[in-house]
């Protein structure tokens, strides 16, 4: 297998930073969540669905709006791009036919940025949508995979690591779902991506093989993150100590 | 190794994306889907995180707590008047869309005695229509609810109450301390069992005697 590369914080190439997720942390928002990966932390708030859609949006479907709030300063080009990527990603996991002619707003507040900021924001936004009980097709699990100068793929980089990368990819996968329908009926021979991918954003130059390698590592990590997300969402389920007769 | 699937996911915690029912394996029975479930051909998938529930004979739903209200026919709710038009009052019921209350939907209502509600008026109403893509329609009505917390409070205190299924409650009494006590009792009782609720109400009532 590949050599172990030494990362500054002692992690292996495939190791994620500690994950933490809290829901229902803002009183007035209809749904809220904070998500942190190591020292990168993002807060997401969801308001809606509220009546009416924005200009140029299809009133026959629900509309999603994303507002990005950087830790300091104004919105620059990277932040505006994050808003677009977030909007497209979240739109694809929402069931837009259920509440037509409504707008659901997601506000992203950066608390601290130590690398992999956009994937962290996507994870926070997804948890906040669940907290607001917005109807979703499935969940989204986001991860950053990068390619070092020496050709290794590492996951969930810190800011220092990000700055030294040759290329990176933000990948968003659907969560691993439990199903009453047996796995065998939908699995294709030799197909790694049986569950597909929601979003892929790449920066820098990488070969096709490197990209496929990123997809494979990212998919494997997303399975672990999916299990974490499931446990996290279930630990705050309504208390059922009062059972109805 | 593969066949460890539970026979069903009923009473288990589920998240969006989980497939909980397979209609092709359920014969020709009709089933009713409540909140949090969505049909995609033969697969019934979860759309909200919560606990999957089943009630005989054929109703499935996902139980979850949320801050926004999903309008449902026959629910009684507390709405706040936002505007009045020629034929309808526009009422905010904490749902995705504004609700309409026809000006004639009152006991003995005629064109000559249309009530004058200003913006901000609180109304206790029943949901009459709740179709996807349309504004919900309301009607003015009475309702009686039994609840252990309210019954225990009612034995010692005198107060008026209107409970909305959309998360709003209106309480009135002659003294502010009674209103506060009733409100606190209701808010405290959210996650308690019936026995725990009775103990909690007794403790609160002891404090004022």
pLDDT tens for chain A, 245 residues: list them.
445 667 888 899 999 999 999 999 999 999 999 999 999 999 999 998 998 888 888 988 999 999 999 999 999 999 999 999 999 999 999 999 988 899 999 999 999 999 999 999 999 999 999 999 999 999 999 999 999 988 889 999 999 999 999 999 999 999 988 888 776 544 433 333 346 899 999 999 999 999 999 999 999 999 999 999 999 988 764 433 222 22
Confidence of residue B73 (pLDDT cuts 50, 70, 90): confident
Q: What is the mean pLDDT of chain B?
A: 87
Confidence of residue B5 (pLDDT cuts 50, 70, 90): very low
> Residue A181 and residue B19: Cβ atoms within 8 Å?
yes
Q: Average pLDDT of B129-134?
A: 87
Contacts A234 to B, Cβ<8 Å: 13, 15, 49
Query: Distance (Å, rounded) from C-alpha B11 to C-alpha B4?
Result: 18
Contacts A97 to B, Cβ<8 Å: 132
Pick the CATH number of B6-63 from 3.40.50.720, 1.20.990.10, 3.40.50.300, 2.40.50.100: 2.40.50.100
Name the segment(s) of chain B with CATH classification 2.40.50.100.
6-63
Q: What is the pLDDT of residue A204?
A: 93
Coil vs helix vs strand at A119 = helix
Q: Dihedral of CA B54/B58/B59/B62: which sign?
A: positive
| A19-183+190-236: in CATH 3.30.300.30 | no
Say which residues have a Cβ less than 8 Å from residue B157's Cβ, sequence separation at least 6: B173, B178, B181, B182, B205
Here the ipTM equals 0.84
C-alpha distance from A142 to closest chain B C-alpha (Å): 16
> Residue B16 and residue A183: Cβ atoms within 8 Å?
no
Q: Average pLDDT of B4-29?
A: 83
The tally of CA atoms less than 13 A away on the side-chain side of residue B175 is: 6
Mutate to test the interface with A, among B15, B69, B149, B167 (most CBs of A within 10 A): B15
CB-nearest partner of A242 from B5, B96, B194:
B194
β pairing state of A63-69 and A102-112: parallel
Q: Average pLDDT of B37-48?
A: 92
Query: Distance (Å, rounded) from C-alpha A67 to C-alpha A106?
Result: 6
Name the segment(s) of chain B with CATH classification 2.40.50.140.
76-139
Query: A213, A179 in Cβ contact below 8 A?
Result: no
Pick the CATH number of B148-206 from 3.40.720.10, 3.65.10.10, 3.30.1370.10, 3.30.497.10: 3.30.1370.10
The tally of CA atoms less than 13 A away on the side-chain side of residue B30 is: 1
Query: Distance (Å, rounded) from C-alpha B149 to C-alpha B146?
Result: 9
φ and ψ at A218, to 5 degrees? -65, -45
pTM: 0.82
Supply the Cα-derived Rg of chain A in whole angstroms: 19
Query: A16, A225 in Cβ contact below 8 A?
Result: yes
Q: Average pLDDT of B1-28?
A: 79
Query: Distance (Å, rounded) from C-alpha B64 to C-alpha B19?
Result: 17
Task: Mean pLDDT check: name the lowest of A73-87, A210-224, B100-114, B163-177.
Answer: B100-114
Name the segment(s) of chain B with CATH classification 3.30.1370.10.
148-206
Identify the contact set of chain A against chain B, taking CB-CB distances under 8 A: 30-31, 48-51, 60, 93, 95, 97-102, 130, 132-133, 135-139, 174-175, 177-184, 229-230, 233-234, 237-243
Task: Mean pLDDT check: name the lowest of A177-181, B109-113, B165-169.
Answer: B109-113
Confidence of residue B2 (pLDDT cuts 50, 70, 90): very low
Q: Average pLDDT of B81-99?
A: 93
CB-nearest partner of B19 from A139, A179, A238:
A179
The CATH H-level superfamily of B76-139 is: Nucleic acid-binding proteins (2.40.50.140)
Contacts A240 to B, Cβ<8 Å: 51, 63
B200 to chain A, any CB pair closer than 8 A? The answer is: no
**Distances from the Cα of A107 to the Cα of A115, A136, A236, angstroms:** 20, 18, 22
Q: What percent of chain B has pLDDT over 90?
A: 48
Q: Average pLDDT of B152-166?
A: 89
Q: Average pLDDT of B127-142?
A: 86
Domain range summary for chain A, segments of one domain joined by +: 19-183+190-236
């Amino acid at each position: 297998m590949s050599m172990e590369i030494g990362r500054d914080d002692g992690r292996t190439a495939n190791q994620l930073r500690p994950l933490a997720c809290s829901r229902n942390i803002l009183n007035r928002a209809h749904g809220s969540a904070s998500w942190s990966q190591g020292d990168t932390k993002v807060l997401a708030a969801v308001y809606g669905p509220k009546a009416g859609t924005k200009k140029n949006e299809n009133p026959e479907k629900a509309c999603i709006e994303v507002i990005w709030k950087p830790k300091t300063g104004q919105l620059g080009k990277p932040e505006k791009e994050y808003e677009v990527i977030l909007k497209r990603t979240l739109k694809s996991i929402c069931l837009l036919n259920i509440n037509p002619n409504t707008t659901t707003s997601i506000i992203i507040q950066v608390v601290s940025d130590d690398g992999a900021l956009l994937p962290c924001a996507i994870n926070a936004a997804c948890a906040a949508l669940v907290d607001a009980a917005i109807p979703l097709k499935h969940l989204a699990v986001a991860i950053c995979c990068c390619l070092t100068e020496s050709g290794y793929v590492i996951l969930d980089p810190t800011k220092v690591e990000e700055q030294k990368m040759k290329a990176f990819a933000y990948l968003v996968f659907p969560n691993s779902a439990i199903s009453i329908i047996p796995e065998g009926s939908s699995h294709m021979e030799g197909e790694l991506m049986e569950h597909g991918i929601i979003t892929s954003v790449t920066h820098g130059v990488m070969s096709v093989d490197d990209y496929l390698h990123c997809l494979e590592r990212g998919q494997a990590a997303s399975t672990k993150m999916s299990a974490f997300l499931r446990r996290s969402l279930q630990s705050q389920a309504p208390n059922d100590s009062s059972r109805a007769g | 190794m593969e066949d460890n699937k539970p026979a069903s996911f009923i009473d288990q915690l589920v998240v969006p994306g989980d497939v909980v029912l397979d209609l092709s394996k359920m014969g020709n029975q009709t089933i009713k889907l409540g909140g949090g479930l969505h049909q995609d051909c033969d697969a019934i998938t979860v759309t909200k995180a919560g606990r999957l529930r089943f009630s005989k004979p054929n109703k499935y739903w996902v139980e979850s707590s949320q801050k926004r209200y999903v309008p449902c026919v026959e629910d009684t709710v507390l709405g706040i008047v936002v505007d009045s038009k020629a034929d309808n009052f526009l009422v905010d019921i904490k749902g995705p869309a504004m609700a309409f209350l026809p000006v004639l939907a009152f006991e003995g209502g005629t064109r000559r005695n249309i009530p004058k509600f200003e913006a901000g008026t609180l109304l206790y109403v029943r949901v009459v229509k709740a179709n996807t893509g349309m504004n919900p329609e309301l009607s003015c009505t009475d309702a009686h609810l039994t609840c252990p917390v309210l019954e225990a409070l009612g034995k010692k205190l005198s107060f008026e109450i209107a409970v909305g299924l959309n998360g709003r409650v209106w309480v009135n009494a002659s003294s502010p301390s009674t209103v506060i006590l009733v409100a606190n009792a209701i808010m405290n009782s959210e996650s308690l069992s019936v026995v725990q609720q009775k103990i909690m109400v007794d403790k609160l009532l002891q404090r004022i005697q």
